Every structure is written in structure tokens, then in C-alpha cells.
Chains A and B, each alone.
Chain A
Amino acid sequence: MSGTIDRSWLLESATFSRPVIREIQRAAREGIYDIRGFGAKRSVPSFDDLLLLGASMSRYPLEGYREKCDTTVTLGTRHARKPVTLDTPITIAGMSFGALSAQAKEALGRGATEVGTSTTTGDGGMTPEERRHSNLLVYQYLPSRYGMNPDDLRKADAVEIVVGQGAKPGGGGMLLGQKISDRVAEMRNLPKGIDQRSACRHPDWTGPDDLEIKVHELREITDWQVPIYIKVGATRTFFDVQLAVKAGADVVVVDGMQGGTAATQDVFIEHVGIPTLPATRIAVEALRDLGMHRTVQLIVSGGIRSGADVAKALALGADAVSIGTAALIAMGDNSPEHEAEYNALGTSAGYYDDYQDGRDPSGISTQDPDLGARLDPELAGRRVANYIRVLTLELQTLARAAGKTNVRNLEPEDLVALTVEAAAMARVPLAGTDWIPGK
């Protein structure tokens, strides 16, 4: 029957679209909210809504491949005796062992090391594989403190205190029982097979004044050697960044609402926090207001995909970016090679977001030994390295076109906005005008 109707007459409701209808039906059937991985899927103002102005008469460009365009960045110059120097301002974000397989964690370390950048542990602690394969490893200090111990802390090249994540500012986490293998259970001091909840608040400090003492404790334990980052989800970004600086951070990490996650309620991912675009501009403003821009470095994340995204983030004043989802995709997540298996899970390559579920055919977001074994850490690591190389080359291409010998010389003056919204959020003029809404 369905084959015989003329579908061109069918009008889909903008309010009750097919995905909305399907979600209502699912909720009515199951009685539980949707938990998934990935980041926000809705369209929000983003770096795509900005354009870079290349050089022309009033300023001259640099020759691609010939004239130097420096990409190195040093993080942690405020207090650390051993700041972290990266060859490219693109770092790998914290993703937990537990959410990801040991193979995936190793691959991320290999990839980052190959291109001279850092990778980051996650909820669940540091694995020996990732330490061994990561030349520069940032150790996350999270509310759950799963796997947290002073030996690993001292092995880290930097410490990142996680206050929040862009996908779920104000939210904790949950690793569902099916992803709790013996090894994950042991690292987290919990029985196998039970849901592991990650608290939304730190257990031993509650506000910025406490945090300052906590930062001091971590510095004392690490003998003031390594930088301390503070990561926040983008919400009240101006105040959060200033409070992080006051608490003594060397580096502030701001993760916008598009940021990926391993397992969060869909309603949280899509409806809490602000996009990476305004968050970046506000964070820079907060640092400038304190006279701390470039003294405390800024890393932004959440939906970074291309060298253009990186260039625009740096032009707004960030020192570096970090990538999560894109690195997973580079390793083989959502690859069409697994289409039949994605179909069996009721989805398709390009749509797969069930990182919480543990049945990832690519062997990345799983603790199943057979699935994990499908991911070759060397090959996947090379792909991550290739991908970051491409982003770096794209970034340099754009920076040279704007006449910059250092990618961090990109500046807001090199940007215009395509939409009124983006102009207001980034505080750069609407293209073809000198109008900055709200200014």
C-alpha cells in the first residue's frame, strides 16, 4: 500500500517532526529518558557562521609551504616549572577508559605523540598503555575520583580538574553495567556489572574558595612541576573563567555545548549550556578583563572538526583547541565499513551515537574484548595523527593567507560573521558592514 501513495503531498510538521514523533513513541513504550553518546545534534551558531578575511592590499599574505607559520604553543607558563609545549595547538580531549576501549585509548596516545601533542585520561583513571604511548599525558581529576591515585598524578605531564563538560554542565555521568569489565571494575573499586555513577560535584570542595585550596594541594603534591588546568562546561563562562583564574589555574578549558560525551541524557545534551562560539569569545574577554590573556592559556572544545574551526577559535583568542568526537571518527567510529552491524543495532553509519551501550562495532566505545580487538591501535593511531596533521595544515593555510607567521597571531580583526546571531555572539562585524550587534 505504502508504495502507492504520492509522498510529495505529505506535509511533515515542523513541531512534530518524524524524529520527535518517534521519540514520543519510544518514551511512551519504555518509560525512561534517552541516554546516548555524541554531542548536540541540533544546529547552533558555530564557527561555520564566521569567515576569515584573507590578506590583500592592506596586508600581505605568506607563501604556502615556503614561509614559516609557527604552530607551537606552550601551556602552563603561569606557575608550572615544566609547562607543556605542543607542536600543534590541537589536543586530544579527556575520554575515559571505560567509555573507550584500552585499544582506543592507546591509539589516541599514539596519534597524539606522533604529531607532538597531548592526550588526556578521563573518568576511570590512567591506564599503563596510554601512559606508555602518550608522550604528553594530561591526567584528569574528576568528581568520581575513580582510579585517582598520587602515583599516576606524579606521572602526569599536566593535571586537569574537571568541573564540568559542555555536553552536560551540572551533570554527572553513568557508565552502564554492561560496560563494566573486570578491569574497569577493579580500577574503580566497584563490583563488576553494576552501574557506575560519576558524581556531578567534587566530594571535597564546593566553591571557588575551596577550589583555590584544592589547586594548591595538587601543586604541593606534584611539587609545582606540572600545569594545572581547570575544565568547565560552557554556561556562565565569564564568571567561571575568572573564578578558575582566581583559583590558580594555569590553563582554562572551556567546553561548549556541542561537546561530545560517552553517555548523557539527550535532553541534557541538547538543552543545557551555550555553544562553543560565544563561549570562546566570552572566555577571552574574561581573561583580558583580568589582564591574564596569554598568561593563563585558553583551550576551547566542542564541535571542532576542521582547520577552519581551529583557525577561528584561535582568531577569537584561544591558545589551543581539543577534540573528542572527531578523533573517534578518525579512528573509525561511524565508518561505513560497519554498515551491516550498525543496521543490526537499528542505526546506520553517520548516525551511530550509542556509546553508552558497549556494542560499538568499531571497537572504540566498548569493553567487549572481541569488539575491542577489532581496533588496531597502530593503524588507528596513525589515522588520528593524519587527521591532526590535516587540521594543522589547514590552520596554517588559513593563517598564512591572513599573513600570520604564527597561528596565534590570528585575531578578531581577521573575522567577519555571516549571520546577525554569530556577529552578536562573536562580537565581530556582520560581513560587509561595520555592525556588531550589541556594541
Chain B
Amino acid sequence: MEFDLSVQTVRNLNAFLHDQGSSDSRVTVNNSAGRHNVAVGAVHPCRIEINGHVGYYCAGMNQHADILVRGNAGPGLAENMMSGTVRVTGNASQYCAATTHGGLVVVEGNAAARCGISMKGVDIVVGGSIGHMSAFMAQSGRLVVCGDAGNALGDSIYEARIYVRGRIAGLGTDCVEKPMLDEHGKELERLLESAGMQYPADEFRRYGSARRLYNFDVDNAGAY
């Protein structure tokens, strides 16, 4: 199935993705031209290839679909996705994979601020660098950054794990470097492999929660 968004609407596309019965279908989307809400709420296993840039919330709340964007993605890529995969060949704007529960999000270029904010189980692999306040209040899942990370990485993080290869401008409150144990190296290798990134795991360092802010304590009030 093919959609030309210079002729058809985002509504036509999304309605098709919600209704289609077949599980092995391929959907090609041309002339996305930065449109918002492209391929949101997909529910069936299928491969969706988008040729062009997309605006806000592309692949939002995806379930099961494998979505490829040949271009850049606007804010909120794959927000609250439950399962499936999303790959962007270019860069992703703010709040990439915000609150996302499951599946894999790969950004081959850079991701802007607040990447993985409030993430709830997703795996995110960024080929380039990520902006400030990424993984803010990240609950669970894994964020892999092959480049650098901006300021306040992992602020108020819960149980998510972060792997960064490059430099970090600064760690957020309660986020600390943690030892890279065997299991982490293996986990990271698997993640890099599934994302198709060719970096040795031992070039990365691991970050996570110091768990000092898990229960409110007035003596920590200054930390907030």
C-alpha cells in the first residue's frame, strides 16, 4: 500500500493503519513534508516506510509496527510507544520517545533535548548526541548514546539505565556513574547490535539512579 501525502491526508493513512487486517503488509508513505501525527496509533505488525521528514509525534503510541523515517523527525517521536520499532535516518527533535513503554527507537543522527523523558521501558539508541535534560524522570528501559550528552542527564531518574560513549555536559540530580559489569556490557552489545551501531561496548560508561531521592526526606530538599 502506498500513500502520497501531497494528495492523501494523514487521516487516510492513520485510518488505514488502524483498520488493516493483514499482518505482513508494507506501507510506503511519500511526501510526508514534515506533517504532524504521521503513522500514530498503528496497531498491526507491518512495515511502514516514510520517505521524507515528519513533524510532531510521528509513530506516537505505536504497537507492533516497524516504522522507518528516511529524514528528520519533529518533537515527540514515538511518544508512548508500546512495542515495535522506530528508526529515523536523520535527527530527532525534542522529547524523543517521551514516556515510551516498549520497543526500540533508533535515531541515527542526533536527538534534541529531553530525549527519553519519563521513559517507561523503551530501548533508545542514538547514533549521535542528545540534548539537555534527557532521561528526566526516566522510569525504566535503556538509553544508549553513541555521541555526547547535554546538561542534566538523567535528572531525577528512577530505574532506567543510560550508556554514553562520549562526553557528558553534566549529570542531573541523583544521577551517578555506575560500574559497567559484565551483564551491562552484554546488554549494551545486544542493544548496539539491534540498532546496527558499530561501536565496542567498552567505549561506553553507564549511568543510573543513586536512589537517594526515592523517598522524600527534608534533608534532601536542597537537591530538588
Contact = CB atoms under 8 A, between A and B. Distances in A.
A215 B212 CA distance: 37
Nearest to B39: A220
B37 A213 contact: yes
Interface string A153-195: 1000000000000000000001011000000000011110111
Interface residues of A, number: 35
A150 B36 contact: no
Contact of B76 (A32, A189, A190, A204): A204
Interface string B29-65: 0000000110011010000000000011100110100
Interface string B122-147: 00000000000000110110000000
A205 B75 CA distance: 8
A345 interface: no
A221 interface: yes
Nearest to A146: B120
B165 to A, nearest CB: 25
Contacts of B60: 217, 221
B55 A194 contact: no
A144 B158 CA distance: 13
A150 B98 CA distance: 14
Contact of A204 (B55, B82, B117): B117
Contact of B99 (A148, A174, A194): A148
B63 A189 contact: no
B85 interface: no
A203 interface: yes
A192 B82 CA distance: 22
Q: Is the interface of B mostly helix, strand, loop or mixed?
A: loop
A203 B99 contact: yes
Q: How large is the interface on B (under 10, 10 to 19, 20 to 34, 35 or more residues)?
A: 35 or more
Contact of A213 (B41, B55, B114, B137): B55
Contact of A189 (B41, B56, B140, B218): B140
B15 interface: yes
A213 B57 contact: yes
B80 A195 contact: no
A191 B10 CA distance: 39
Contact of A220 (B11, B79, B120): B11
B98 A191 contact: no
Given A177-B215, A195-B216, A205-B76, A214 B57 contact: yes
B82 A203 contact: no
Contacts of A176: 216
Contacts of A153: 61
B114 A221 contact: no
A55 to B, nearest CB: 50
A149 B101 contact: yes
B156 A197 contact: yes
Contacts of B215: 177, 193-195
Given A191-B159, A203-B95, A204-B75, A213 B101 contact: no
B80 A190 contact: no
B36 A149 contact: no
Interface string A53-78: 00000000000000000000000000
Interface in B51-98: 55-57, 60-61, 63, 75-76, 79-80, 82, 94-95, 98
Nearest to B13: A220
B103 interface: no
A216 interface: yes
Given A145-B120, A205-B76, A223 B18 contact: yes
Interface of A: 30-32, 144-145, 148-151, 153, 174, 176-177, 188-191, 193-195, 197, 199, 203-205, 210, 213-214, 216-217, 220-224
Closest 6 CB pairs of A and B: A221-B41, A194-B214, A204-B98, A204-B76, A145-B99, A150-B61
Given A145-B80, A210-B75, 5 more contacts: A189-B140, A194-B214, A205-B76, A213-B55, A221-B41
Interface of B: 10-11, 14-15, 18, 36-37, 40-41, 43, 55-57, 60-61, 63, 75-76, 79-80, 82, 94-95, 98-99, 101, 114, 117-118, 120-121, 136-137, 139-140, 156, 158-159, 214-216, 218
